[in-house]
Amino acid sequence: MAEDWNGRERRKHPRIPLKGEVKGKIHTVSSAPVIDLSVEGALLEVPCALKPKSLYTMRLAISPTEHLEIKGKVIRSYVHGFERNERGETVVKYRAAVQFQAISDSHKETLYRVVQRLSQNAMSANLQRDKVV
């Protein structure tokens, strides 16, 4: 605790300050709901702002048994809104537009098939809704 600190190093292996000699990357495993999807990219809801031009590897669950790992570049990231969490605290909601990078032909075909299927499902749902109204 800060109030117990007496100025002496307590670590078994002390840290040394660096001036850029070592680079690090953090890979996070956090949920990022997909808001919309195309063969070339996606809009994601993310827990924090993402730096434009940064690269990420995404794992898209396109069905219960099929996943695609795709590299993507952040095109833009922005505050989308605010909501209250379970403790009543205000939480910022972010969205990030991601452009897929170096996507294989088989991944493109799979994404095209998924987008077509979801598009047809959305159109059918709209038709059903319009009939009820």
Q: Is residue 74 part of a domain?
A: yes
Q: Is residue 21 part of a domain?
A: no
Q: Is residue 87 part of a domain?
A: yes
DSSP class of residue 23 equals: -
Q: Is residue 111 part of a domain?
A: yes
Q: Is residue 25 part of a domain?
A: no
Burial of 108 (0-12, 13-18, 19+ CB in 10 A): middle
DSSP class of residue 132 equals: H
Q: How far apart are CA 46 and CA 130, in angstroms?
A: 33
Helix, strand and coil percent figures for the chain, each rounded to 5? 25, 35, 40
Q: Is residue 75 part of a domain?
A: yes
| Count of domains observed in the chain | 1
3-state secondary structure of 120: helix
Q: Is residue 20 part of a domain?
A: no
Does the structure show a pLDDT above 60 at 113? yes
Q: Is residue 36 part of a domain?
A: yes
* Cβ neighbours around 47 below 10 Å, total: 13
Residue-range definition of the domain harbouring residue 84: 30-132
CATH of the domain at 85: 2.40.10.220
What does the pLDDT look like over 24-47, one tens digit per residue? Answer: 666 666 788 899 888 899 999 998
What does the pLDDT look like over 54-106, one tens digit per residue? Answer: 999 988 888 888 888 999 999 999 999 999 989 999 989 999 999 999 999 99
CA-wise closest residue to 74 among 54, 101, 95: 54
CB 68 within 8 Å of CB 107: yes
What does the pLDDT look like over 8-25, one tens digit per residue? Answer: 767 777 777 777 777 666
